[in-house]
Amino acid sequence: MASKIQTLPGFRDFPPQACALRNYLFRKWRAAAIAHGFQEYDGPVLESLELFTEKSGPEIVTQLFNFEDKGGRQVSLRPELTPTLARMVGANAGSLKRPIKWFSIGECFRFEKQQKGRKRSFYQFNADILGEAGPGADAELIALCIQSMRSFGLGPEHVVLRLSDRTLWMAFLAALGLDEEASIKALSIVDKMERVDADYTRQQLSHILGEGTESFLARVAAMKAVSSIEGLEAFVSGLGMEALSERMAQWRELWGILDAMGLAEFCRVDLGIVRGLAYYTGFVFEVFERSGEGRALAGGGRYDRLVEKLGYAPLHATGFAAGDVTLADLLESKGLLPSLLPALDCYVVYGGEAEKAEAMRAVATLRSLGISVDYPVKAAGFGKMFKQADLSGARLCLIFGGEELAERRFKMRDMASGGEVTGPLCDLVEGVKLRLAHGIEK
RNA sequence: GUGGUAGUAGCUCAGUUGGUUAGAGCAUCGGAUUGUGGUUCCGAGGGUCGCCGGUUCAAGUCCGGUUUACCACCCCA
């Protein structure tokens, strides 16, 4: 006997319950995106390896599901959707009406060790706005991100969107005399500060900043202490940097839109958010559980240089992605998952062969109208069939017995109330529709 | 890639200092039940005790390895 083969590490089967949950997430994501005026697109799961190394550098390969195909091409399963999007939009940018608001829901793959909230195969909800440089686009994207959370029943008591700004950081670091490369290095150290000990951080920073390390750390501490738009205004004006006043106007515009939409209570200014990506250029954000536990539920930001980097004409862009794994974990832990298996409309029970033939005619008719119907494939006694009707979860039970058919009538039972009605067979369809809508009183 | 913990039925678990043929609850299936469901009662199926090796008269139990999962690092597009 062959040994039992399990799913590969980090991959999942989706039996009906899990599949229903997955579809529920997809349904809500899709509905939120469409409600915000985004259009759905899709791309190939397998891409040229170069598409990803071009964006993220050669070191990304260690985390990819890559291989050589039979034609000798270096290929990889996609680890994210953005490069595909950038290609698709970049190639057609000239003919697309702007702003370009696109979203996709797709399976992505990363060759990493799995742990809580992280698998090797997962689904991402990805939404992007391209072709618009102003903060209105960032606001619109953040609005969708928050609304997509909200549509699952998550409120500001559950989740928080931490909003930061790479533009501010880069201006701040440039004012200290750091070039772009050094700035990015410094940012990555700042990003890790919370997780490593202070001495290590000091040591790393001193390579870049030398004497300025201590004053830099003090500044960073002040920056990270900022948690509101007012606090940010105060901090920036305290720096006395003329160049930043324009940026603050954009912050005010962004915040004003979110506030008007009633979403500000979900948001917190938090310059501690940096995001690892080298290519983010402006507003960046991550959504976390309010308690701070767990991995990011979603993350995104502006990436105005990526499309150009992939060889197309420059195009402003901002986007975010949310994963199914952390979201499902959170909804589960908060008891926010509804019952997901679709309820059957009707279950049909029947007597002998003649009754079965009549029943099958009704089954086919109802099904052709989109009413979900099931029946015992194997004949059994009425008692048994009713038990199956009950287990099926159907709302109505249609009874095709000898007594009914002798009078050319049908009988229908409301499985919840136990009420029953009968009617002439020719009125079956109307009767079912009526009773599905209103039930039958006992 | 590095550590920690764990692995007994579909699920949750019990299994004594190593000692007959490895158990329970839930779930599944069958029957009581050929005109009325959720309760009840009876019964059945389902196990290479993760895998390989070692110690022993004897291993689910002890030892070594391995694998998988979970958790924490690294990383996080």
Per-residue pLDDT of A412-426, as tens digits, reads: 999 988 899 999 999
Query: Does some domain include residue A339?
Result: no
Q: Is the pLDDT of residue A29 over 70?
A: yes
Q: Is the pLDDT of residue A1 over 70?
A: no
Residues shown for chain A: 442
pLDDT (0 to 100) of residue A3: 54
Mean pLDDT of A33-57: 94
pLDDT (0 to 100) of residue A200: 80
- CB of A415 nearer than 7 A to strand B: yes
Assign A150 a pLDDT band (cuts: 50, 70, 90). very high
DSSP A318: E
Query: Does some domain include residue A280?
Result: yes
d(CA A11, CA A196) in angstroms, rounded, equals 31
Q: Is the pLDDT of residue A6 over 80?
A: no
Same domain, residue pair A83 and A217: yes
Q: Is the pLDDT of residue A49 over 50?
A: yes
- CB of A112 nearer than 7 A to strand B: yes
d(CA A425, CA A326) in angstroms, rounded, equals 51
| Nucleotide in closest CA–C1' contact with A413 | B36
Same domain, residue pair A359 and A303: no
| Nucleotide in closest CA–C1' contact with A280 | B77
Task: Give the tens place of pLDDT for each residue, A78-133.
Answer: 999 999 999 999 999 999 999 999 999 999 999 888 888 889 999 999 999 999 99
Q: What is the CATH number of the domain that holds A402?
A: 3.40.50.800
Chain A residues 124-183, Cβ below 7 A from strand B: none
Domain that holds residue A236: 16-333
**Amino acid identity of A370?**
G
Chain A residues 385-404, Cβ below 7 A from strand B: 386-387, 389-391, 397, 399, 401-404
Contact A339, A99 (CB under 8 A): no
pTM of the model: 0.91
Same domain, residue pair A210 and A351: no
Same domain, residue pair A322 and A403: no
Assign A15 a pLDDT band (cuts: 50, 70, 90). confident
pLDDT (0 to 100) of residue A4: 64
A39-40/A100-109 β-pairing: parallel
Assign A314 a pLDDT band (cuts: 50, 70, 90). very high
A283-289/A66-68 β-pairing: unpaired
Task: Give the tens place of pLDDT for each residue, A235-282.
Answer: 999 888 888 899 999 999 999 999 999 999 999 999 988 886 678 999
The domain boundary, picked from A277, A307, A333, lies at A333
A74-77/A121-130 β-pairing: unpaired
Query: Does some domain include residue A1?
Result: no
Could you check whether the bond before residue A99 is cis, i.e. omega within 30 degrees of 0? yes
Same domain, residue pair A226 and A283: yes
- ipTM of this complex prediction, to 2 decimal places: 0.85
Mean pLDDT of chain A: 90
Same domain, residue pair A211 and A354: no
Q: Which residue in the block uniquely carries the two structure tokens 């529920």?
A: A24
Task: Give the tens place of pLDDT for each residue, A362-393.
Answer: 999 999 999 999 999 888 888 889 999 988 88
The domain boundary, picked from A333, A360, A384, lies at A333
- CB of A326 nearer than 7 A to strand B: no
Domain total in chain A: 2
pLDDT (0 to 100) of residue A91: 93
Task: Give the tens place of pLDDT for each residue, A285-302.
Answer: 999 999 887 789 999 999
The domain boundary, picked from A280, A299, A333, lies at A333
Mean pLDDT of A357-364: 94
Same domain, residue pair A236 and A315: yes
Phi, then psi, of A241 in degrees rounded to 5: -100, 110
Above pLDDT 70, what percent of chain A?
A: 99
Q: Which residue in the block uniquely carries the two structure tokens 């004409």?
A: A313
Could you check whether the bond before residue A135 is cis, i.e. omega within 30 degrees of 0? no
pLDDT (0 to 100) of residue A115: 83
Which residues, other chains included, contact A11 with Cβ-Cβ below 8 Å and sequence gap of 6+?
A119, A120, A121
**Amino acid identity of A70?**
K
**Amino acid identity of A239?**
L
Chain A residues 177-236, Cβ below 7 A from strand B: 188, 192, 195-196
Q: Is the pLDDT of residue A306 over 80?
A: yes
3-state class (DSSP) for residue A211: helix
- CB of A287 nearer than 7 A to strand B: no
Q: What is the CATH number of the domain that holds A323?
A: 3.30.930.10
Assign A232 a pLDDT band (cuts: 50, 70, 90). very high
Mean pLDDT of A329-344: 83
Assign A2 a pLDDT band (cuts: 50, 70, 90). very low
- CB of A115 nearer than 7 A to strand B: yes
Above pLDDT 90, what percent of chain A?
A: 60
d(CA A129, CA A316) in angstroms, rounded, equals 8
Instruction: Report the candidate in A62, A69, A60, A77 with the shortest Cα–Cα distance to residue A122.
Output: A77
